[in-house]
Structure 1
Amino acid sequence: MTEAPISPGYPASVVGGELRLPKPPGVIRQFWARHPWLTDSLITALYFVPTFAGTIALLFGSDPPPAWIAVAQLVAIAVAAAAILLLRRREPWLLVAIAWLVCLVVYPFGSTDVFPLLLALYALAVYGSTRAAWIGFAGSVVVTTASSYIAVWAHAGGTVAPFGADAPASASQFTVLLLIATLIGVTVGNQRRYLNALISRAHDLARERDQQAQLATAVERSRIAREMHDIVSHSLTVMVTLADGSAATAARDPERAADAMQHVADTGRAALADMRRMLGVLAEPAAAAGHPEELAPQPGTAALPVLVERFRAAGLPVQLTTVGPPILDSNLQLTVYRIVQEALTNALRYAATAHRVDVTVEHADGVVRVDVIDDAAVASTSELTSGGKGLVGMRERVALYGGTLEAGPGPQRGWRVHAELRDEERSRPQSDAPATNPDDPEEDA
């Protein structure tokens, strides 16, 4: 992944490939942004070559300074040049310290040299922080003022003849130059930091977008797996039970066996229809346009009597009781249907000796209660305590509605599944909702 030309260290694209960072306007700015070492080398050369040449010229002039002063000047200039080249972007505070030293050593003894200090303050503001830049500016004012007074002292002692002997005037001029360099650096640095913050934020948002997409994909896969388990487990359990019964009665009661096999075929067709309906929402709209049945709604509480009849045909003595007003939320209806379906499937699988299986769906006060109780021997249902995918799926469905699920042995014998789900449609006040009669008679299927 390449770096953004305008902001080194930040990627030009992120996961998903949709983020495109802005580029600096103009070919020249893009060129300098891509070649920072060339930029630093030119700046170093712009300082070192004329300053070093001027110092050499002073040594061969009519009034050369003492040798120790010339050597100190040349060393300071070389150190400042190396610092500009190597430290301007990485260690601006170290560059500021070296520039202070150069200002104290070079300027008082015959050569005005504050250029490294101007570059150091600019680098501190751009690559450091605004607070650091102003601290560096205050320290630089103190250093340049001290350097001006040292120059006046050196002139009075006859050591050298500086460019000016007025220390306050020199210090004020240096202060203005330092202020200009600091203000330019603060402006450029704040713009750079703001742009970097925007780029970082965009990068975080893009990564969060991809994470949300992955989470949504995982949730959808879990939902599909749960639906597939409910459909396949229920259908196969009924079909296996009917097929076993048909095989056992084929010799002595062919008509009953044929009727059972017909139920097997009907159950298989219903399972295929449910799978097409569930997977139809995953198809492209154009592909599903020719098969509107694939986009039919999922089963709800109105389909519970049909579900109960299938289990009765498989030999499970089921009694269905509904209490209260109808459930309006289609998703909640599907959840209730799947809970009843899974509970009855487990009863058919593990409670084959049950003489009665009671299914009760009660809707009152914004809460839906589902009870599935059989009277089979406890030993036949003990395998359910392992908590297979069916119970896990029921708990996940119930958790979506802030409810609870209890599955375990009944008070006396058999197995009991009890679920409570909150009906948000009934929980919040509705001024235009039709009045309900809490004393509706029970309906036995």
Structure 2
Amino acid sequence: MTEAPISPGYPASVVGGELRLPKPPGVVRQFWARHPWLTDSLITALYFVPTFFGSIATLFVSDPPPAWIAVAQLVAIAVAAAAILLFRRRRPWLLVIIAWLVCLVVYPFGSTDVLPMLLALYALAVYGSTRSAWIGFAGSTVVATASSYIAVWAHADDTVAPFGANAPASASQFTVLLLIATLIGVTVGNRRRYLNALIARAHDLARERDQQAQLATALERSRIAREMHDIVSHSLTVMVTLADGSAATAGRDPERAAEAMQLVAETGRAALVDMRRMLGVLAEPDETTTCPDELAPQPGTAALPELVERFRAAGLPVQLTTVGPAIVDPNLQLTVYRIVQEGLTNALRYAATAHRVDVSVEHADDTVRVDVIDDAAVASTSELGSGGKGLVGMRERVALYGGTLEAGPGSTRGWRLHAELQAEEAAPSTPTTPAADDPEDPA
């Protein structure tokens, strides 16, 4: 079934997809709305043909008007017809002014010609505004009254009689006709403007919906990229370090090299499990193929000792210190875990010569403080990759809990990573970015 816009002139599509609008009622009304030039041409013909030929017929009566009056009438009628055809929709005020002139020129000296004013007031109310319509009605009333008195004066036998008996009657009749045309135009115009406003609002809502969908997609991509970076970067850094150490000791200590390669394999398998969890959340759930690992929770603060042991096995001298009560919120636990993981990954990559790396997690007064400090020589800014995704991802995680993140050279030497998070904001009202494969994640 073909869908059509409620009002002509509005497209049926918006950014991001098609906007389906209900089909408007009325076959005849739809036809005239789709053919505005045909409508204006018929209206012009209904006015021009009888009025023009009626004015020509007056030339053959027993007492025809003077030639200049007849010519003025015909010219005025032709100008009014052209104005109706060209300006009724686009410039209704211009049509009103021309209709006033025609009423002053044609009516007093011949046939009654107020139809252009009626059409002009209707057009002004529909295609202009309600205020313009009532202003035009007031002006048209004055013009119609003046035209009535001019007609009385023009047909007087010997004296000017602007206050003849027929002038008030003609003026009142014109006023009633003009009022009816104005009221009809205001009603139709208000309905038209109301429908146009509804359609414009529908388009705005659809566009806003598409923009919100695009923003949600961008946020989801950022969340996935952050999680992927935390998993891949950490695991690959540990694997590369272990592989380099294994290659260096393979000749003089084969057993130690074999243990290092075994740790490489375990780290790789753990990374695959994490990746499988991530991809399992992105894919459609399937009860027949879902693995227990895909539904396992993301690591928290309880997994920090195991994380530290992996880095120790890679040759990084890490010391872990925890102070305060345990963190209850699993999302906050994951954030703390990822911060420590990223800090140790950077230390393993850029501070391999460190003699000591201190990791401290302190939970007190609804604030969680995380510090990762090493005593190695400070690497250059280019080596630290200050513009990489690691620090950006950590800042995004910390910002979700109203916290701050500081990363820079230590007071004496080495590198210091310091983060503070507000434990009170463990469940913010806005959608957060918890673990991608956390079963408690509403996403």
Same-fold call, TM cutoff 0.5: yes
| Change in CA separation of 1:96 and 1:266 when aligned onto 2, cut-off 3 Å | same
| Change in CA separation of 1:176 and 1:379 when aligned onto 2, cut-off 3 Å | closer
**Cα deviation per residue 1:113-151 (whole Å; 9 max; x = unaligned)?**
110100000000000000000000000000000000000
- Report the equivalent of 1:295: 295
Find the residue that maps to 1:417 and give its secondary structure.
Answer: strand
Contact 2:351 2:376 in 1 (8 A): yes
Q: CA deviation at 1:385?
A: 6.5
Q: CA deviation at 1:158?
A: 6.8
Q: CA deviation at 1:288?
A: 8.1
- Report the equivalent of 1:424: 424
> Structure 2: 5+ residue runs without aligned partners?
429-443
Contact 1:246 1:260 in 2 (8 A): yes
TM score, norm. by length of structure 2: 0.91
| Change in CA separation of 1:278 and 1:352 when aligned onto 2, cut-off 3 Å | same
Q: CA deviation at 1:9?
A: 2.2
| Change in CA separation of 1:288 and 1:386 when aligned onto 2, cut-off 3 Å | farther
- Report the equivalent of 2:98: 98
> Structure 1: 5+ residue runs without aligned partners?
429-445
- Report the equivalent of 1:29: 29
- Report the equivalent of 1:87: 87
- Report the equivalent of 1:304: 304
| Change in CA separation of 1:200 and 1:427 when aligned onto 2, cut-off 3 Å | closer
- Report the equivalent of 2:403: 403
- Report the equivalent of 1:214: 214
| Counterpart-to-counterpart distance in 1, 2:26 and 2:8 | 17
| Change in CA separation of 1:153 and 1:292 when aligned onto 2, cut-off 3 Å | farther
**Cα deviation per residue 1:189-214 (whole Å; 9 max; x = unaligned)?**
01100111111111111111111111
Structural RMSD (CA): 2.2
Q: CA deviation at 1:331?
A: 2.0
- Report the equivalent of 1:441: none
- Report the equivalent of 2:48: 48
Alignment of 1:133 with 2:133, yes or no, is yes
- Report the equivalent of 2:431: none
Structure 2 residue identity aligned to 1:11:
P
| Counterpart-to-counterpart distance in 2, 1:25 and 1:329 | 57
**Cα deviation per residue 1:46-101 (whole Å; 9 max; x = unaligned)?**
10111111111111112211111111110010000010011000000000000000
Structure 2 residue identity aligned to 1:148:
S
Bigger drift between 302-311 and 375-384 goes to: 375-384
- Report the equivalent of 1:434: none
Contact 1:368 1:422 in 2 (8 A): yes
Find the residue that maps to 1:297 and give its secondary structure.
Answer: coil
- Report the equivalent of 1:123: 123
**Cα deviation per residue 1:251-279 (whole Å; 9 max; x = unaligned)?**
22222111111100000001111111122
Contact 2:4 2:24 in 1 (8 A): no
**Length, aligned pairs only:** 423
Q: CA deviation at 1:157?
A: 4.1
Find the residue that maps to 1:217 and give its secondary structure.
Answer: helix
Structure 2 residue identity aligned to 1:139:
G
Alignment of 1:227 with 2:236, yes or no, is no
| Counterpart-to-counterpart distance in 1, 2:6 and 2:225 | 47
Q: CA deviation at 1:26?
A: 2.3
Bigger drift between 215-224 and 97-106 goes to: 215-224
Structure 1 residue identity aligned to 2:401:
Y
| Counterpart-to-counterpart distance in 1, 2:286 and 2:178 | 69
Contact 1:103 1:114 in 2 (8 A): yes
| Change in CA separation of 1:397 and 1:119 when aligned onto 2, cut-off 3 Å | same
| Change in CA separation of 1:219 and 1:426 when aligned onto 2, cut-off 3 Å | closer
Matches within 5 A, 1:9-408: 9-157=9-157, 166-286=166-286, 290-379=290-379, 383-384=383-384, 386-408=386-408
TM score, norm. by length of structure 1: 0.90
Contact 2:402 2:425 in 1 (8 A): no
Q: CA deviation at 1:366?
A: 1.8
Contact 1:88 1:123 in 2 (8 A): yes
Aligned-pair identity (%): 89
